[in-house]
Structure 1
Amino acid sequence: MLWRAISEASPGPKWSGLFAEYWPDYKRWWLKEGESARPTYAESRRALNDHMPEIVPLYDELCELAGGGDLAARFLSFYCPPPYLAGCSQAIWTGKEPVMVRNYDYNPNAFDSLVLHTTWQGRRVMGTSDGLWGMVDGVNDAGLAISLTFGGRRIVGTGFGVPLILRYVLQTCETTEQAGAVLARVPTHMSYNVTVLDRKRNYLTAMMAPDRPAVLTHAAVATNHQENVEWVSHARFTATVERERFLLQRLSLHRDPEEKFIAAFLRPPLYSTAFSAGFGTLYTAVYRPRLREMELRWPGTVWPMSMENFVEGGRRVQIPGAA
């Protein structure tokens, strides 16, 4: 898998080039249930204006760079997208220098494999891209880190794809408290667990859903269920309960040192190579929000990145089990 790290302070030719490259595949995905299944441009923009008004000017700018087309603008709103599933494990190691660690388990053929470093609307953000402006994990210049896991429920409702919600949090929030308020009010189209850690060591996990209010918890661990397992076959397939229990033991009973805790994410039961069944672990990410640093890790490889000294480049990495 070829990974790229790209920096562009304001939306411009680099982002426009990325959109042109990725749009054919995203367009097929966006239309896989038929165009009529997706909201209109007017509905999408109205929803953004109602729930995330601060980033509407940025959205308009990106739509223009994408060519100003109707379908592209509807896609970039991330409003009521097609359903999609991921695995994932994430946890907060609460040592002297707290870190957020996560595994992203997904289909390698439906993934950007892209780290974006931006200063859109004056806010520096660095993280793993999804949908070319959404994020599946990231950190901002205020020292706020965020990450998501799928919540293990079948229900699809009216709301936004969660990667855009993560971008919105990183663009507009500086503390865990502020992030929690956003996660409690912005509607999501599927169930997700979103974990946040700020520079003052405060953290939370929001259990978001399209059909019930978000639950804000002080959980340091999130896998692929919420308060109870509701989708039994998915829970069994992903071993979500076993992974949660394993991480809780690492944080409490055994109290692993930082490096040992991080290394556990690159081994079973957290690390998955089940790509033939749909998805496996594409990468492990480590965030140090106070330092505004991140690392991408694979077995035998570490790619460190710093918000202050971000270096563009690429890495070709071998993903065990992925064709």
Structure 2
Amino acid sequence: MGRVHSDVIQFRGGHYDFGFEQGQMLKNSFILPNRKKQWGPQNRNFTINEQEAKKLLLDLSPAIWEEICGLADALEWPMYDAIKDFGGYYLEYVRSGCSIFTAPDFMVRNYDSTPLGYEGRFALYQPTDGGYATIGPTMQITGRTDGINEKGLSMGYNFINRRNSEDGFICNMIGRLILENCATIEEAVALLKEIPHRRSFSYVLLDKSGETKVVEASPREVKVRNASVSTNHFELLTEENRYQIEDSRRREQTIQNHQDGLTDAFSAFRLLNDSDKGVFSKKYATASGTLHTAAYFPETLEVGFALGPNRLPLMLDFQKWLDGEKLYVKRINGNLDIDAQFVNMGEL
């Protein structure tokens, strides 16, 4: 078993100041040097359309653009490099798994990927210059893998396919755009239909209405369906699926087989997090091992979070934090069934 951890980041203030604060923290972090090693020559040869990315971000969320400017200034980077690394537009994304189950009052989600690409950052941010407060794990600093906002809108996504990509935003920035700018499922669906998508992903949405929508989004089309279980295949845009979706179907069927017994969030959490239930994945070598399990509660704004299998969730009261209480947790610890570390933990 390898010990891992996520650092908890708390910030209240404007987006530029939040970006600058994160940039200062990154100067003393292993994240950016490790990322450059991992991307290697591919990152040096990768080009973006700076003006196009800037225009899209300013149109969709000028506040997040300010955050990127703060990061650039703190790191003393050219804006081109900051947009490329933090803009979430038109960048490669590691293949991943993921399983999600929802009920009217909660969402439970497994995030499956490779430990070597996991940032180990869990952020609570309450902006003072526009946008909703959010809580959730970060990806590529500005993005979110899943989370909930102050309005109770919860979001998680499932990887579908890397083939036939086009210019557009990647999943983690799309997750951030949803959480920071949308109060309801309807607003989130409208946003997902408006923005350009680089890859094919499902976005699972739950709000205080108790309704769940799964939005199947590809670079070519966006469709919406009702479902309480989502794994790594489309049900409507089936032409976008990978050739091999057997494991995705298996995890979906496993959750559906237990669905009648999932009467509360804890039983759902145990189904996804316990290593012997058939949903938690140990396929870390193929970038589809479960790294975290998260639970989000739209009515109470509580969050449960665990790193690795067979763990009780750390419960966080986001509403109390929104009301001004400080969260006295600096680090979330866990264990994985592999001798590996996250990019925030040391030099790779």
CA contact (8 A) 1:107 1:278 kept: yes
Change (3 A) 1:27 1:200: same
Matched, 1:214 2:222: yes
SS of equivalent residue, structure 2 residue 145 = strand
Q: Distance in 1 between matches of 2:50 and 2:39?
A: 13
Match of 1:246 among 254, 258, 262: 254
- State the partner residue of 1:119: 126
Q: Distance in 1 between matches of 2:109 and 2:230?
A: 9
Q: Distance in 2 between matches of 1:118 and 1:167?
A: 11
- Does 2:310 correspond to 1:299? yes
% identity of equivalent residues: 22
Deviations 1:210-239 (A, max 9, x none): 1x2111111221101112373123x24xx1
1:257 alignment partner in structure 2: 263
Alignment partner of 2:180 out of 171, 176, 192: 171
Name the structure 2 match of 1:77: 87
**Aligned in 2, Cα 1:220/1:38: closer, same or farther, shift over 3 Å?**
farther
Amino acid in structure 2 at the alignment position of 1:249: N
Instruction: Tell me the distance in 2 between the aligned counterparts of 1:131 and 1:189.
Output: 16
Secondary structure of the structure 2 residue equivalent to 1:151: strand
Q: Give the conservation status (yes or no) of the 8 Å contact 2:53–2:89.
A: yes
Change over 3 Å in CA distance of 1:201–1:65 after alignment to 2: farther
Preserved CA contact (<8 Å) 2:19 2:68: no
Describe the superposition over 1:122-151 as per-residue Cα deviations: whole angstroms up to 9, x where unpaired.
Answer: 431110110111000011111111111102
Indicate the residue corresponding to 2:137 in structure 1.
128
Match of 2:330 in 1: 313
Give 2:7's aligned residue.
4
Structure 2 CA distance for partners of 1:232 and 1:245, relative to 1, 3 Å: same
Q: Which residue in 2 is equivalent to 1:90?
A: 100
SS at match of 1:281: strand
Q: Higher mean Cα deviation, 179-188 or 260-269?
A: 260-269
Contact 1:6-1:312 within 8 A present in 2 as well? no
The CA distance in 2 between the partners of 1:84 and 1:306, in whole Å, is 31
Matches within 5 A, 1:58-207: 58-69=67-78, 70-94=80-104, 98-120=105-127, 121-122=129-130, 123-207=132-216
Work out the CA distance in 2 between the residues paired with 1:83 and 1:114: 17
- Within 2, Cα distance between the matches of 1:222 and 1:52? 28
Sort the Cα spacing of 1:202 and 1:279 in 2 relative to 1 into closer, same or farther, 3 A.
closer
User: Relative to 1, partners in 2 of residues 1:80 and 1:132: Cα closer, same or farther, differing over 3 Å?
Assistant: same
Per-residue deviation at 1:260? 1.9
For residues 126 and 188 of structure 1, what CA distance do their matches in structure 2 show? 23
Deviation at 1:306, TM superposition (A): 1.7
CA RMSD, 1 decimal: 2.2
Q: Residue 336 of structure 2 aligns to a residue in which SS?
A: coil
| Counterpart-to-counterpart distance in 2, 1:180 and 1:54 | 20
Give, in whole Å, the separation in 1 of the partners of 2:21 and 2:69: 17
Compute the displacement of 1:276 (Å).
Answer: 3.0
In structure 1, stretches of 5+ residues that fail to align are none
Corresponding residue SS for 2:335: coil
* CA distance 1:38–1:219, change in 2 (3 Å): farther
Give the aligned length: 314
Q: Distance in 2 between matches of 1:322 and 1:105?
A: 16
Say if 1:223 and 1:244, in contact at 8 Å, map to a contact too: yes
Partner of 2:233: 225
SS at match of 2:210: coil
Alpha carbons of structure 1 residues 292 and 221: separation in structure 2 relative to 1, 3 Å: same
Deviation at 1:76, TM superposition (A): 1.4
CA 240–131 in structure 1, closer or farther in 2 if over 3 Å, else same: same
CA gap of 1:68–1:185, structure 2 versus 1, over 3 A, is same
| Structure 1 residues 18 and 224: alpha-carbon distance in aligned structure 2, compared to 1, 3 A threshold | farther
Instruction: Tell me which amino acid in the other structure corresponds to 1:305.
Output: L
- For residues 49 and 124 of structure 1, what CA distance do their matches in structure 2 show? 19
Which structure's relative contact order is higher, taking Cα pairs within 8 Å and 6+ residues apart?
Answer: 2
Question: Partners in 1 of 2:40 and 2:198 — Cα distance?
Answer: 17
